[in-house]
Chains A and B, each alone.
Chain A
Amino acid sequence: DAGVTQSPTHLIKTRGQQVTLRCSPKSGHDTVSWYQQALGQGPQFIFQYYEEEERQRGNFPDRFSGHQFPNYSSELNVNALLLGDSALYLCASSKNGGQPQHFGDGTRLSIL
């Protein structure tokens, strides 16, 4: 039973560039949430996708956008990257947005 998988594992970008991160949810799950975890901090909620629509959004600017595909996989896009966007980006999946959420190991994004 495959858990939540994320790609790529690591990514290095420069300021102003755009990045796309990918997530495949755990088998049987239909809801994907994205989180940003800065070093030494807890995960901060970015948004949640269910039935291919953004259902809930945290306090993040419009530079952060997402998409969910019919197979429930999801992408996180970040435009006009800033140095402060350097973080671990985590994807979590669940059934119908409920609990518990299961996390992937994240994509570590470094902005130079």
Chain B
Amino acid sequence: QKEVEQDPGPLSVPEGAIVSLNCTYSNSAFQYFMWYRQYSRKGPELLMYTYSSGNKEDGRFTAQVDKSSKYISLFIRDSQPSDSATYLCAIGKGAGNQFYFGTGTSLTVIP
């Protein structure tokens, strides 16, 4: 069983739509949850970083963690064509421990 599972998509939405991206994980010891955005031929760029259950909002982005279900989500409001990229979730136990990435979800926002 993989440490983290992510639906690879691809996902295609019209501009202005609300996008929901999700990951599930297997180990309840994981405490750190991150979402990265990766444009083609670029490295991953950190979008959101959370430590606990609940919601964290930053502009049009909201990260949600449900530790009881081992489920994390990223919501993008008012999606823009510039949001078209691959979104990666990453999960880990903390300093000195490795982090596990999902396979990434490819998102295209159509103008």
Contact = CB atoms under 8 A, between A and B. Distances in A.
Interface residues of A, number: 27
Contacts of B100: 45
B95 A43 contact: no
B101 A43 contact: yes
A105 B46 contact: no
Contacts of A90: 43-44
Contacts of B94: 98-99
A42 B89 CA distance: 9
Decide if the interface of chain A is mainly helix, strand, loop or mixed: loop
A40 B88 CA distance: 11
Contacts of B8: 40
Interface string B33-49: 01010000111111001
B103 A55 contact: no
B42 A105 contact: yes
Query: What are the nearest 5 A-B pairs in CB distance?
Result: A42-B101, A103-B43, A97-B95, A45-B98, A105-B43
